[in-house]
């Protein structure tokens, strides 16, 4: 490329060579980010603000002023303006949020789960501790409404094998629930 000044590269950009914009980015992006970091911005914020400043550079490409052939002074001023605008926007957003009424208390769904009766808790524990294939069959047929045939295909077994496993699993569930109610009732 060989252009020694940003102004020479910029003439190519204005003439329609969008790839030349990358050269300006390569020359100045690190300095713009360092300037923002020195101003107290976090790394991610500094990178985002720098990208916004370069977007402004592109958007206002016909109005860029060069100092000794460099676009860096224009970029620094624009970066500072972009950063101030971002700070003002954050303050306005914080004021808006603080002006909103506090939300009504909504019960935490975890509180509901904690209040479940013992048999429901035992049922869930039994299903969780079951053979994964049995749990999958039960979930697909009882909860999701799949046919036994489709559930069997999904777990990779025949329909009669799935029917047998599901039947044994239901018996096991009933037994666990019956034992729990006997233990709780004593």
- Render pLDDT for 18-32 as a digit per residue (tens, 0 to 9): 888 899 999 999 999
- At 92 the pLDDT is 95
pTM of the model: 0.52
- At 1 the pLDDT is 46
CA-based max dimension of the chain: 93
In a domain, 1, yes or no: no
Q: Which of 39, 72, 99 is the last residue of a domain?
A: 99
In a domain, 172, yes or no: yes
In a domain, 104, yes or no: no
CA torsion through residues 99, 104, 105, 108, sign:
negative
Q: Is residue 95 located within the same domain as residue 142?
A: no
- At 185 the pLDDT is 55
Q: Is the pLDDT of residue 14 over 90?
A: no
Averaged pLDDT of the chain? 85
Q: Cα separation of 86 and 80, whole Å? A: 10
CB atoms within 10 A of CB 92: 10
Domain with 161, as residue range(s), is 109-185
CATH number, domain with residue 158: 1.10.10.10
Q: Which of 123, 168, 170, 133 is nearest to 153 (CA)?
A: 133
Token pair recorded at residue 68: 């000794």
Q: Is residue 154 located within the same domain as residue 88?
A: no
The more confident residue out of 82 and 103 is: 82
CATH number, domain with residue 14: 1.10.1740.10
Q: Is residue 68 located within the same domain as residue 129?
A: no
Q: What does the pLDDT average to over 62-66?
A: 86
Give the tens place of pLDDT for each residue, 89-134: 999 999 998 998 887 877 777 666 655 666 677 777 777 788 888 8
Q: Cα separation of 16 and 14, whole Å? A: 5
In a domain, 144, yes or no: yes
Q: Is the pLDDT of residue 65 over 50?
A: yes
Q: Is residue 29 located within the same domain as residue 77?
A: yes
Token pair recorded at residue 121: 């808790």
- At 184 the pLDDT is 60
- DSSP labels for 38-67? HTT--HHHHHHHHHHHHHHHHHTTTS---B
Q: Is residue 79 located within the same domain as residue 119?
A: no
Tally of domains in the chain: 2
In a domain, 26, yes or no: yes
Q: What does the pLDDT average to over 60-69?
A: 86
* E strands, 71-160, in order: none
Q: Which of 109, 41, 130, 108 is nearest to 79 (CA)?
A: 41
Q: Is residue 19 located within the same domain as residue 93?
A: yes
Token pair recorded at residue 176: 């666990």
């Amino acid at each position: 490329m060989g252009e020694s000044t940003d102004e020479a590269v910029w003439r190519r950009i204005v003439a329609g060579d969008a790839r030349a914009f990358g050269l300006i980015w390569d020359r100045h992006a690190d300095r713009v980010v360092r300037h923002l970091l020195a101003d107290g911005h976090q790394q991610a914020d500094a990178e985002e603000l720098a990208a916004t400043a370069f977007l402004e550079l592109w958007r206002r490409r016909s109005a860029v002023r060069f100092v000794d052939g460099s676009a860096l002074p224009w970029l620094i001023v624009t970066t500072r303006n972009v950063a101030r605008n971002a700070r003002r926007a954050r303050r306005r957003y914080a004021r808006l949020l603080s002006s909103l009424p506090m939300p009504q208390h909504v019960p935490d769904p975890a509180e509901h789960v904690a209040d479940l009766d013992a048999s429901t808790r035992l049922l869930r524990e039994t299903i969780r501790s079951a053979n994964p294939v049995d749990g999958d069959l039960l979930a697909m047929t009882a909860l999701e409404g799949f046919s036994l045939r489709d559930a069997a295909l999904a777990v990779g077994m025949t329909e009669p094998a799935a029917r047998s496993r599901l039947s044994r699993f239901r018996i096991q569930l009933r037994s666990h629930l019956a034992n729990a109610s006997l233990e709780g009732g004593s």
